[in-house]
């Protein structure tokens, strides 16, 4: 088995995106995502801007600012889980 270095233990951007999408599947507020994904608000806002532009999340203003994973975001999670199941990541 490969020995993991300290640098290898950091999360990649792909992992962070997957974590945000996973938390927001049923709708979540920013505070829930910050705590669940272990991010700060500044970093979360940067990710949410990118994810919204990519069509992976949407802000639902009717439900007091809930952030929800879109169908495209759910597809991303399926692919992510599939790659993770290979055991290489």
pLDDT digits (tens, 9 = 90+) for 20-34: 999 999 999 999 999
69 contacts 21 by C-beta, under 8 angstroms: yes
Asked whether the predicted pLDDT for residue 13 surpasses 80, the reply is yes
pLDDT digits (tens, 9 = 90+) for 60-78: 877 678 999 999 999 999 9
Taking each helix axis from N to C end, the angle separating 13-23 and 30-37, rounded to the nearest 10 degrees, works out to 130
Domain boundaries, the chain: 13-84
Query: Which residues, in sequence order, are bridge partners of residue 67?
Result: 28, 59
Q: Give domain 13-84's CATH number out of 2.40.50.140, 3.40.50.880, 3.40.50.720, 1.10.10.10.
A: 1.10.10.10
Largest distance between two CA atoms of the chain = 50
Quote the Cα angle for 20-17-30, to 5°: 30
Rounded Cα distance between 34 and 89, Å, is: 24
Q: Give me the pLDDT at residue 85, please.
A: 80
Q: Is the alpha carbon torsion for 69, 71, 73, 75 positive or negative?
A: positive
Q: Give me the pLDDT at residue 83, please.
A: 86
What value does the mean pLDDT take over residues 34-59? 96
Asked whether the predicted pLDDT for residue 87 surpasses 60, the reply is yes
């Amino acid at each position: 088995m490969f020995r993991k270095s300290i640098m290898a233990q950091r999360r990649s951007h792909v992992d962070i995106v997957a974590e945000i999408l996973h938390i927001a599947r049923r709708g979540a507020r920013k505070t829930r995502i910050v705590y669940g994904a272990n991010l700060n608000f500044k970093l979360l806002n940067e990710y949410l801007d990118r994810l919204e532009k990519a069509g992976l999340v949407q802000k639902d203003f009717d439900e007091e600012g809930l952030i929800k994973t879109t169908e495209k975001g759910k597809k991303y999670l399926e692919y992510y889980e599939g790659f993770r199941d290979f055991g290489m990541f």
